[in-house]
Amino acid sequence: GAVVSQHPSRVICKSGTSVKIECRSLDFQATTMFWYRQFPKKSLMLMATSNEGSKATYEQGVEKDKFLINHASLTLSTLTVTSAHPEDSSFYICSAGTSGNPYNEQFFGPGTRLTVL
């Protein structure tokens, strides 16, 4: 149980285009989803927290207009990188949690490697 998927696993795009990454909870309802960014050989940096049906809460320094997050259902959250540039190239990981989980445990997706040319 508690499986989270991400799609696509890898994406290469041209500079200036937008890219959408999907995060799905396959066997549970995710009231909260988190989006992380990971630079090479670095730890995970939380970008934003999204709750189903409401606006995402972005961490300081994360551009909300560049990284659009939508959590339209209890099983799906999307991250759209708008007008992507080479500096947006990174590994993006989502995680999901449930309000019924008393231990604040998050379940992680396998990640999406974004390369912007």
Partner 1 sequence: AQSVTQPDIHITVSEGASLELRCNYSYGATPYLFWYVQSPGQGLQLLLKYFSGDTLVQGIKGFEAEFKRSQSSFNLRKPSVHWSDAAEYFCAVVSNFGNEKLTFGTGTRLTIIP
Q: Which residues of the chain form contacts with partner 1 (CB under 8 A)?
A: 6, 32, 34, 41-44, 46, 49, 91, 93, 95, 97, 99, 103-111, 113
Q: How far is the CB of 115 from partner 1 (least distance, A)?
A: 12
How does DSSP assign 24-85, residue by residue?
A: EESSS--SEEEEEEE-TT--EEEEEEEETTS--EEPTT--TTTEEEEEEETTEEEEEE-S--
* Residue 103 Cβ vs partner 1, minimum distance, rounded to whole Å: 5
How near is the Cβ of 107 to partner 1 at its closest, in Å? 8
Place of tokens 């670095």: 42
Provide the token pair at 102.
């008393």
Which CB, 46 or 76, lies closer to partner 1? 46
Quick one: 38 or 82, whose CB is closer to partner 1? 38
